[in-house]
Amino acid sequence: KNEVEQSPQNLTAQEGEFITINCSYSVGISALHWLQQHPGGGIVSLFMLSSGKKKHGRLIATINIQEKHSSLHITASHPRDSAVYICAVRSSETSGSRLTFGEGTQLTVNP
């Protein structure tokens, strides 16, 4: 079992739909990251969370430390949101700065 699991692996939506991507992890963490990888391959950091909720534009990220679960929400989705979304955690059980990544969720938003 991977330390970080994402669901779904693939998601297709219509423009305007509300989207949720989930991330579950099995270790204690000091931080959780949501990354976006564009079709061209570049990786952008969207959020870093250690508790609660963060919002940036149409993107919302939440984390429940007790349940070891995080969600990334996209409101009013748009075709330009099409990308791979990757969850990554920094374990609090080991020292250092290593990130462990989920396998990613491929999101396609159709016009």
Partner 1 sequence: DAGVIQSPRHEVTEMGQEVTLRCKPISGHDYLFWYRQTMMRGLELLIYFNNNVPIDDSGMPEDRFSAKMPNASFSTLKIQPSEPRDSAVYFCASREQGAYEQYFGPGTRLTVT
The residues binding partner 1 (CB under 8 A) are 31, 33, 35, 41-45, 48, 86, 88, 90, 96-99, 101-104
The residue assigned the tokens 């990757």 is: 86
Nearby residues of 39 by Cβ (< 8 Å), 6 or more positions away: 82, 83
Q: Would you state the structure tokens that stand for residue 79, as one six-digit string?
A: 């075709």
- For partner 1, which is the closer residue by CB, 41 or 57? 41
Q: Which two tokens stand for residue 29?
A: 């963490």
Q: Which is nearer to partner 1, 17 or 54 (CB)?
A: 54
Q: What are phi and psi of 65, to 5 degrees?
A: -65, -40
User: Two tokens at 64?
Assistant: 């429940």
| Residue among 13 and 86 whose Cβ is closer to partner 1 | 86
Shortest Cβ 65–partner 1 spacing (Å): 15
Cα 11 to Cα 17: distance, rounded to the nearest angstrom: 12
Based on CB atoms, which residue is closest to partner 1, 63 or 77? 63
